[in-house]
Amino acid sequence: MTKPNPFKISQMQLDRCAKTLHLDQNIHEILRVPMREIHVSLPVRMDDGTMRIFQGFRIQYNDAKGPTKGGIRFHPDETIDTVRALAAWMTWKCALMDLPLGGAKGGIICNPKELSPIELENLSRTYIRSIYNFIGPNKDIPAPDVYTNSQIMAWMMDEYSKIAGENKFGVITGKPIRLGGSVGRDDATGRGGIYIIQEAIKEYNIDLEKSTFAIQGYGNAGYYAAHLTKALLGSKIVAISDSKGGIYNENGLDPESVLEHKRLTGSVINMPNTENITNQELLELNVDILIPSALEDIIDKNNAPNIKAKIVAELANGPTTPEADDILYQKGIHVIPDFLCNAGGVTVSYFEMVQNASIYYWEEAQVHSILEKRMKNAYYTVLNTSKKYKVSMREAAYIVAVGRVADAMKLRGWV
């Protein structure tokens, strides 16, 4: 089966929004494609002395609202269309959160698990040397993403600073705390999603104490979603999965015990006192809240009719296909779209930029407080737009975000 093209999906979503908004045709055409694409070849000296050439990208989608912002992914199956789609979604995400930023994304085709620490550092520094002229605190600010982390961001920031001849901590976010990173960044994506779920549960009159959760994916976002579901909501998590499969216990799962089991065995499956289930079975469980937090396109037209959750909170990027979106909306399932639900990460990255610029660093309670306010404001803006236009939450989020970018383009005289 051919995998859907994520960039085509992002264009379809924009096209649908453009009709509802009666968007100016010229603005629509500009927003359908990236503003700038950078393709680079990256020669890296390997540990055995040979030279290997990696391919990398940086897509700067739109900077009408400010410098572009977005992560850098290291993945063996990275494609230019995936990066284009993610850059588009970052544009809408930043606009939806009303951040003074545009959207970007970067990627390198590689398997970081096969690289030594020295090779990984060489690759990271070579990438920054190749795109140096196109990034900067007032141009484009990268961040970590799939298979990249704070250490890789530290190398990249250091390489940029060496070329600039001065410390430029603000060129990268997601850095270690000791190098200008922000407290509260590690759990920001999961925390932001839980803040929104908290409001959605109120809106749909779900009994918080009796509510049940299923979490598909147990990486950073999935783990923190589980941890905070228990810590902040006190709700019961009955199912958790990773790439190898899932586990189920109707009496509830302890997120820390599941994490420890995964650390020891490499997967959540086969955990004592649980029943092994497939990822597909997890998606179709009779739970109140389903949190897809890993893969793209895992809810499609084939399984959407079987989704029983009252709320689907998309912590993953693009987990629901357009066809499935329509089915879930017709079923009355409240879908919190990805670029709203997982916007906590970029929001705290923006906080990191603010702290770097002012050379004044906040306490964690302040980060959490401001994040909570921004996430909840964004949720109700989208919810009210959904009710006003009688459209799905995803379409409503697009209406808000695209409208803000279009306004910025008009005010700047681009059209």
pLDDT band at 105 (very low <50, low <70, confident <90, very high): very high
> Would you call 239 helix, strand, or coil by DSSP?
strand
- Rounded (to 5) percent helix, strand, coil in the chain: 50, 20, 30
In the chain, CATH 3.40.50.10860 covers 36-170
pLDDT band at 7 (very low <50, low <70, confident <90, very high): very high
Range with the lowest mean pLDDT among 111-120, 162-171, 204-213? Answer: 204-213
Percent of the chain's residues with pLDDT above 90? 93
Percent of the chain's residues with pLDDT above 70? 100
In the chain, CATH 3.40.50.720 covers 188-341
**What whole-number distance in Å separates Cα of residue 164 and Cα of residue 169?**
11
Q: What is the DSSP string of 300-324?
A: -TTTGGG---SEEE--SSS-B-HHH
Per-residue pLDDT of 188-246, as tens digits, reads 999 999 999 999 999 888 998 899 999 999 988 999 999 999 999 999 999 999 989 99
Say what the pLDDT of residue 197 is. 96
pTM over 0.85: yes
Per-residue pLDDT of 317-352, as tens digits, reads 889 988 999 999 999 999 999 999 999 999 999 999
CATH number for region 188-341 = 3.40.50.720
- Across 71-91, b (16+ Cβ under 10 Å) vs e yields bbbbbeebbbebbbbbbbbbb
Token output for 276: 């092994």
Q: Which of 69, 93, 105, 175 is catalytic?
A: 105
Q: What is the DSSP string of 78-138?
A: --HHHHHHHHHHHHHHHHHTT-S-EEEEEEEE--GGGS-HHHHHHHHHHHHHHHGGG-BTT
Q: What is each CA distance from 327 to 199, 283, 304, 322, 393, in whole angstroms?
A: 23, 15, 6, 9, 13
Token output for 43: 């020669």
Q: Which residues are paired to 256 by β-bridges?
A: none
Say what the pLDDT of residue 296 is. 80
Q: State the CATH architecture for 36-170.
A: 3-Layer(aba) Sandwich (3.40)
Per-residue pLDDT averaged across 96-101, rounded?
A: 97
Length of the chain: 415
Q: Which residues are paired to 233 by β-bridges?
A: none
Range with the lowest mean pLDDT among 146-155, 203-212, 399-408? Answer: 203-212
Q: Which residues are paired to 70 by β-bridges?
A: 142
Say what the pLDDT of residue 39 is. 98
Say what the pLDDT of residue 1 is. 58
Residue 173 has pLDDT above 80, yes or no: yes
Say what the pLDDT of residue 230 is. 93
Per-residue pLDDT of 274-319, as tens digits, reads 999 999 999 999 999 999 998 788 999 999 999 999 999 999 988 9
- Taking every pair of Cα atoms in the chain, the longest distance, rounded to a whole number of angstroms, is 63
Residue 35 has pLDDT above 90, yes or no: yes
pLDDT band at 17 (very low <50, low <70, confident <90, very high): very high
Per-residue pLDDT averaged across 36-42, rounded?
A: 98
**What whole-number distance in Å separates Cα of residue 153 and Cα of residue 155?**
5
Indicate if 105 belongs to the active site.
yes
